[in-house]
């Protein structure tokens, strides 16, 4: 039985909790909430702790007790370095939400600490574990669309007034698109352009990136100030393209494979759809497999660090 503590039970912490609660191989032992709650959502962890009969506290030390195996860190990113260091030094496996700290320096320190203490540090990029994107990856591996020409991603929503991360949309949802480029195309790329609009809430809303690796171009649009939530991902190649429209958390997701008809004409089309968001469950399953092996390769530990290093390149452009 994997014994789990959750630090931070807001939107993301609650999503993690629901998955772990249904897992017969795992048990939530402790929930750590804010020291000074000031809104109804800040009390969510305390309410849930009573329902599932687990310990509730506002002391992080309670999550570091010997009977805890894994800690989910879902606070605001400004606490990741301080809490993450304590958790890793206590030799607890850690699933920490993205981004991995506030900058690449913090990310690197956390990775090095994890290596030194032989614990698994997983950065929470749940979109990699979305059923549609898993299928997308499998289709790419089969080289169905031929030589890849370009990558295009748009991830936007209207949560600017309710988002509490205080890090801006680039580090919050834009980094998901960067991570997907690393996952589907290449971890190493150049920044061709970076532009963003300032607004009354964040400095980087409605941001546009152009990335390049070898002969593949990538474009990214991220924002917290759109009128409707939207996710769209397309990779196009010499023999066709694959397009994902939306995410299951918003109701329904469609994956479309377009296969080019030579010399020209209407492409052959095949579609798949997903209506359930299994990304959190799939990511937790991946995490469990890794900690059971007790050996973690550098690529697994470095996922969040690679994205933060690429983010640094973007911000310096």
Helix (H), strand (E) at residue 137: helix 131-141
The residue ranges of DSSP E strands in 188-297, in sequence order, are: 190-197, 205-213, 216-223, 230-237, 240-245, 253-259, 268-274
Domain closes at, from 100, 125, 150 = 125
| 199 & 61 share domain | no
Q: What's the pLDDT score for residue 196?
A: 82
Q: For 25, how many CA atoms within 13 A lie in the half-sphere containing its CB?
A: 9
Task: List the CATH number of the domain containing 187.
Answer: 3.30.360.10
As a whole number, mean pLDDT of residues 43-50 equals 84
Mean pLDDT, residues 170-188 = 94
- Whether the per-residue pLDDT at 161 is higher than 80: the answer is no
Percent of the chain with pLDDT over 70: 94
User: Mean pLDDT across the stretch 178-202?
Assistant: 87
Among candidates 99, 225, 231, 230, which has minimal Cα distance to 160? 225
Same domain, 35 and 135: no
Residue 272 β-bridge partners: 255
Which of residues 125, 142, 160 is at a domain's end? Answer: 125
Which CATH number goes with the domain that contains 44?
A: 3.40.50.720
Going by their DSSP bridges, the two strands 55-57 and 26-32 should be labelled as parallel
The answer on 236 and 259 residing in a single domain is yes
Q: How confident is the model at residue 300 (pLDDT cuts 50, 70, 90)?
A: confident
The number of folded domains in the chain is: 2
Does residue 223 form part of some domain? yes
Q: Is the pLDDT of residue 155 over 80?
A: yes
Verify that 153 and 239 share a domain, yes or no: yes
- Asked if the model's pLDDT at residue 200 lies above 60, the reply is no
- Domain that includes residue 91, residue range: 2-125
Average pLDDT over every residue of 41-47: 78
Give the mean pLDDT of 31-45.
77
pLDDT at residue 198 above 90? no
* Residues 158, 267 within the same domain: yes
């Amino acid at each position: 039985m994997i014994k789990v503590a959750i630090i931070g039970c807001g939107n993301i912490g609650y999503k993690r909790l629901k998955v772990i609660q249904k897992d017969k191989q795992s048990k939530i032992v402790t929930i750590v909430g804010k020291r000074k709650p000031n809104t109804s959502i800040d009390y969510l962890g305390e309410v849930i702790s009573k329902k599932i009969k687990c310990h509730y506290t506002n002391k992080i030390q309670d999550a570091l007790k010997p009977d805890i195996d894994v800690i989910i860190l879902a606070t605001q990113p400004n606490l990741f370095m301080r809490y993450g260091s304590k958790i890793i030094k206590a030799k607890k496996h850690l699933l920490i939400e993205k981004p991995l700290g506030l900058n690449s320096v913090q990310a690197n320190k956390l990775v090095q600490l994890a290596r030194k203490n032989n614990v698994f540090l997983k950065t929470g990029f749940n979109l990699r574990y979305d059923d549609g994107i898993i299928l997308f990856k499998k289709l790419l591996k089969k080289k169905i669309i031929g030589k890849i020409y370009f990558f295009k991603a748009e991830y936007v929503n209207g949560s600017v007034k309710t988002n509490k991360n205080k890090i801006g949309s680039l580090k919050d949802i834009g980094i998901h698109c960067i991570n997907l480029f690393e996952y589907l195309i290449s971890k190493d790329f150049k920044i061709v352009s970076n532009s963003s609009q300032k607004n009354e809430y964040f400095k980087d809303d409605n941001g546009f990136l152009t990335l390049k690796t070898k002969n593949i171009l990538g474009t990214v649009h991220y924002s917290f100030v759109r009128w409707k939530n939207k996710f769209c991902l397309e990779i196009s190649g010499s023999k066709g393209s694959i397009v994902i429209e939306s995410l299951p958390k918003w109701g329904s997701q469609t994956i479309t494979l377009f296969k080019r008809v030579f010399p020209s004409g209407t492409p052959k089309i095949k579609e798949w759809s997903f209506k359930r968001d299994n990304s959190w469950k799939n990511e937790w399953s991946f995490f469990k497999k890794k900690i059971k092996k007790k050996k973690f390769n550098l690529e697994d530990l470095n996922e969040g660090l690679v994205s933060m290093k690429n983010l640094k390149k973007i911000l310096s452009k």
